[in-house]
């Protein structure tokens, strides 16, 4: 079913990106008998874990859960060393996976995809790279990652700074030595929360510029207990299956049951006990103490106030503690998981600058100006996040049927069906695209579910002799309304988060991920079981396109 690349090779699928998603997509499609080429912009595989090498970079989902479940031998043989794996360990894992499944031979590194154009005559894509290479394939899978388009804000004078600047998501491979340096960190999201305690230990002075205070709960990271590892490995199938049914794609290892009683209905002592228990356990499960934390502002405030009290008890200077206390709903922005973040502000070499009112005024040749004060520094670290979920996709010029581009289709915000298909862009599949649970979940769980769904879909199309599939515009409209409806039921849209696109000036404000993995997986399964309901299969053949004359056995499913 493939078409040809320039070298004359038959290619069924081009996959863009060689992170967790692209690697498994390649393996899964190859196993199903498809020919695949993976194009990766980096000089190595690993995606997020290739680029994000800042000090302290670590996953905040437990390593035993943040790992592939598709191969039993792999999951039995690989040994994680810590509860939460470091970036180097995760990258080593992905390198091992690539070696183990002989993936490198179909991965082309240092290859930035700039455009992809769909040819309606041949029902195939031509993918173009920055170097000018062109490959053609029947299908394209965008495994481009949700947090891969770095956001370096356009602050006045940004390029005038005379010292080095770094973005956490584009960290130099050789590392950075901050010894004796005066360092500015801009941003206080997850990356900053992980990096700040480590930079503070090295730097002569550290100045943190905080636009929005962040909630962080302790990681309580530790070496993995061999007994726990043995126990989990003995029931790994059950763990993986439970996570796929869970709301956030993880939690099967938790010793704490999700809370069943409203934060407003349990007594005050019991409320404190439940929250303290979760604080001592650590990690993202903290938000699971009550069922209504992300649904009721009053319930949320109770949980938020518990964390603020912790911050006040940790940070010695009451004025600094107050500045570090977030005002927004807890969980509205991604909850951070920390090791010594708040404690760092007790160090004599660390200063917090509140820029919540007027932002950073300017970057000067020698530092950062805020609130009318010039802060002289030697180095600036931008921990300013990403053009999340859409940035890595819209920077590629995808041109679909009738010259319609992805940027056109998404001018008012991303619109997809299931977070997988885009109307007007046939034979293009997104992995963990906007409109799917993605960033609200353990990404590996969501990635595996999408990879397997896409592989099944392509297998179905091949079996039926079909050449083209696309999301039905009506199904897309319904799906967008569905995602908005669910998000609107929660407190997620109440703050300026990157989930909403609010961190990027001019980006349409649309809540992009879909809360709730378990129900979503059931919907995806039902769509497949109903012959890919909501997708149009070879529908153009009925629609009077040049191929209409050939229409034979084509079907439209909607
Ligand atoms: P985040 O979570 O987007 O954090 C970025 C931080 O940078 C956040 O505190 C922002 O403040 C701040 N920021 C962004 N732009 C500016 C400007 N122009 N001026 C000052 N401060 C700014 O990115 P991370 O890399 O930390 O984490 C991303 C995800 O990776 C994380 O959620 C995990 O899923 C893993 P704001 O809150 O917008 O006011």
Ligand 1 pocket (Cβ < 6 Å) reads 147, 153, 168, 186-192, 211-212, 334, 359-360, 383-385, 498, 503
The partner residues of 109 in beta bridges, in order of sequence, read: none
Considering only 71-75, 163-167, 550-554, which range has the smallest mean pLDDT? 550-554
Nearest CA to ligand 1 atom 33: 190
Question: Mean pLDDT across the stretch 330-345?
Answer: 98
pLDDT tens-digit profile of 110-120?
Answer: 999 999 999 99
Q: What is the pLDDT of residue 388?
A: 96
Nearest CA to ligand 1 atom 21: 187
CA distance linking residue 513 with residue 226, whole number of Å? 36
CA distance linking residue 439 with residue 513, whole number of Å? 7
Q: What is the pLDDT of residue 10?
A: 67
Continuous H helices in 371-472: 391-394, 406-409, 443-463
**Residue 540: pLDDT above 90?**
no
Dihedral sign computed on CA atoms, order 355, 357, 363, 368: negative
CA distance linking residue 390 with residue 506, whole number of Å? 13
Q: What is the pLDDT of residue 258?
A: 87
The partner residues of 184 in beta bridges, in order of sequence, read: 207, 380
- Predicted confidence band at 541 (pLDDT cuts at 50, 70, 90)? low
Instruction: Specify the residue for token string 């796929």.
Output: 244
Select 3-9+20-45+103-149+388-557's CATH number: 3.30.70.1400, 3.50.50.60, 3.30.460.80, 3.40.50.300: 3.50.50.60
Question: Mean pLDDT across the stretch 11-34?
Answer: 98
- Predicted confidence band at 257 (pLDDT cuts at 50, 70, 90)? confident
- Find out whether 406 and 393 touch, Cβ atoms under 8 Å: yes
Question: Mean pLDDT across the stretch 232-255?
Answer: 96
Q: What is the pLDDT of residue 543?
A: 56
- Find out whether 435 and 421 touch, Cβ atoms under 8 Å: no
Nearest CA to ligand 1 atom 25: 385
- Find out whether 147 and 439 touch, Cβ atoms under 8 Å: yes
Considering only 251-255, 321-325, 445-449, 516-520, which range has the smallest mean pLDDT? 251-255
pLDDT tens-digit profile of 372-418?
Answer: 999 999 999 999 999 999 999 999 999 998 999 999 999 999 999 99
**Residue 57: pLDDT above 90?**
yes
Name 86's Cβ contacts closer than 8 Å, sequence gap at least 6: 57, 58
Nearest CA to ligand 1 atom 27: 190
pLDDT tens-digit profile of 357-367?
Answer: 999 999 999 99
Q: What is the pLDDT of residue 557?
A: 34
- Predicted confidence band at 558 (pLDDT cuts at 50, 70, 90)? very low
Q: Which ligand 1 atom sits closest to the C-alpha of 360?
A: 19
**Residue 556: pLDDT above 80?**
no
Q: Which ligand 1 atom sits closest to the C-alpha of 502?
A: 38
CA distance linking residue 420 with residue 429, whole number of Å? 5
For the entire predicted model, the pTM comes to 0.95
Task: Work out the percent of the chain whose per-residue pLDDT is above 70.
Answer: 95
Where residue 282 falls (left for φ over 0; alpha for ψ -120 to 50; beta otherwise) is: left
pLDDT tens-digit profile of 269-308?
Answer: 999 999 999 999 999 999 999 999 999 999 999 999 999 9
pLDDT tens-digit profile of 187-204?
Answer: 999 999 999 999 999 999
CA distance linking residue 92 with residue 86, whole number of Å? 10
Question: Mean pLDDT across the stretch 176-197?
Answer: 98
Gap from CA of 186 to ligand 1 centroid (Å): 9
> For residue 130, how many other CB atoms are within 10 A of its CB?
12
Nearest CA to ligand 1 atom 36: 212
Q: What is the pLDDT of residue 549?
A: 36
CA distance linking residue 91 with residue 51, whole number of Å? 10
Q: What is the pLDDT of residue 474?
A: 98
Q: What is the pLDDT of residue 545?
A: 42
Q: Ligand 1 pocket test: pick from 189, 190, 214 the residue with the most ligand atoms within 8 Å of its Cβ.
A: 189
Q: Which ligand 1 atom sits closest to the C-alpha of 168?
A: 25
Question: Mean pLDDT across the stretch 484-505?
Answer: 96
Structural domain boundaries in the chain: 3-9+20-45+103-149+388-557, 254-312
Mean confidence (pLDDT) of the chain: 94
Gap from CA of 179 to ligand 1 centroid (Å): 25
537: nearest Cα among 436, 462, 435 = 462
Long-range CB contact pairs, 154-158, < 8 A, 24+: 154/505, 155/359, 155/360, 155/362, 155/363, 156/361, 156/362, 156/363, 157/362, 157/363, 157/364, 158/363
Question: Mean pLDDT across the stretch 14-20?
Answer: 98
pLDDT tens-digit profile of 415-430?
Answer: 999 999 999 999 999 9
CA distance linking residue 335 with residue 333, whole number of Å? 6
Q: Ligand 1 pocket test: pick from 19, 190, 359, 512 the residue with the most ligand atoms within 8 Å of its Cβ.
A: 190
Q: What is the pLDDT of residue 69?
A: 98
- Find out whether 38 and 18 touch, Cβ atoms under 8 Å: yes
Token readout for 2 is 């493939």
Dihedral sign computed on CA atoms, order 227, 233, 239, 240: positive
Gap from CA of 383 to ligand 1 centroid (Å): 6
Question: Mean pLDDT across the stretch 343-347?
Answer: 98
Nearest CA to ligand 1 atom 16: 384
Q: What is the 3-state secondary structure (H, E, C) of 177-241?
A: CCCCCEEEEECCCHHHHHHHHHHHHHCCEEEEEECCCCCEEECCCCECCHHHHHHHHHCHHHHHH
- Full DSSP string of 235-272: THHHHHHHHHHSSSS--TT-SSPPP-S-TTTS-HHHHH
**Residue 227: pLDDT above 50?**
yes
């Amino acid at each position: 079913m493939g078409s040809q690349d320039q070298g004359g090779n038959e290619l069924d699928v081009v996959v863009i990106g060689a992170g967790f998603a692209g690697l498994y997509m390649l393996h899964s499609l190859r196993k199903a008998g498809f020919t695949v080429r993976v194009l990766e912009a980096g000089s190595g595989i690993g995606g997020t874990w290739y680029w994000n090498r800042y000090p302290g970079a670590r996953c905040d989902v437990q390593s035993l859960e943040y790992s592939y479940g598709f191969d039993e031998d792999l999951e039995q043989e690989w040994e994680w060393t810590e509860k939460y794996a470091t970036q180097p360990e995760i990258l080593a894992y992905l390198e091992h996976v690539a070696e183990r499944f002989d993936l490198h031979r179909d991965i082309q590194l240092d290859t930035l995809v700039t455009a992809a154009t769909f040819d309606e005559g041949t029902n195939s894509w031509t993918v173009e790279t920055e170097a000018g290479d062109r490959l053609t394939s029947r299908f394209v899978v965008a495994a481009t990652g949700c947090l891969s388009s770095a956001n370096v804000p356009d602050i006045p004078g940004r390029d005038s700074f005379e010292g080095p600047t770094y973005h956490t998501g584009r960290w130099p491979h050789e590392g950075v030595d901050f010894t004796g340096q005066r360092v500015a960190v801009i941003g206080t999201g997850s990356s900053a929360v992980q990096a700040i305690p480590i930079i503070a230990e090295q730097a002569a002075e550290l100045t943190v510029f905080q636009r929005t205070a962040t909630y962080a709960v302790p990681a309580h990271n530790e070496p993995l207990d061999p007994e726990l590892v043995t126990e989990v490995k003995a029931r790994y199938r059950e763990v993986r299956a439970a996570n796929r049914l869970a709301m956030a794609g993880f939690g099967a290892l938790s010793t704490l049951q999700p809370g069943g009683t409203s934060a407003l209905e349990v007594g005050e002592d019991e409320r404190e006990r439940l929250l303290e228990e979760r604080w001592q356990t650590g990690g993202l499960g903290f938000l699971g103490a009550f069922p209504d934390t992300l649904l009721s502002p009053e319930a949320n405030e109770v949980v938020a106030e518990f964390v603020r009290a912790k911050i006040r008890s940790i940070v010695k200077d009451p004025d600094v503690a107050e500045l570090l206390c977030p005002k927004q709903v807890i969980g509205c922005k991604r909850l951070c998981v920390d090791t010594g973040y708040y404690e760092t502000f007790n160090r004599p070499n660390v200063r917090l600058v509140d820029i919540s009112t007027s932002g950073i005024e300017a970057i000067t040749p020698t530092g950062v100006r805020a609130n009318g004060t010039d802060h002289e520094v030697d180095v600036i670290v931008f921990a300013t996040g990403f053009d999340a979920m859409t940035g890595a996709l819209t920077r590629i010029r995808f041109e679909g049927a009738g010259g319609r581009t992805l940027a056109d289709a998404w001018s008012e915000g991303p619109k997809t069906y299931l977070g997988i298909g885009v109307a007007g862009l046939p034979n293009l599949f997104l992995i963990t695209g906007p409109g799917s649970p993605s960033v609200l979940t353990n990404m590996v769980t969501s990635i595996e579910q999408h990879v397997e769904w896409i592989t099944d879909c392509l297998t179905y199309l091949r079996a039926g002799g079909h050449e083209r599939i696309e999301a039905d515009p009506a199904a897309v409209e319904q799906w967008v309304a569905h995602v908005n409806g669910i998000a609107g039921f929660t407190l997620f849209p109440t703050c300026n988060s990157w989930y909403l696109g609010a961190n990027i000036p001019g980006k349409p404000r649309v809540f992009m991920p879909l809360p709730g993995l378990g129900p979503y997986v059931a919907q995806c399964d039902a769509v497949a079981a109903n012959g890919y309901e909501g997708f149009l299969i070879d529908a153009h053949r009925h629609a009077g396109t040049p191929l209409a004359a050939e229409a034979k056995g084509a079907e439209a499913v909607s």
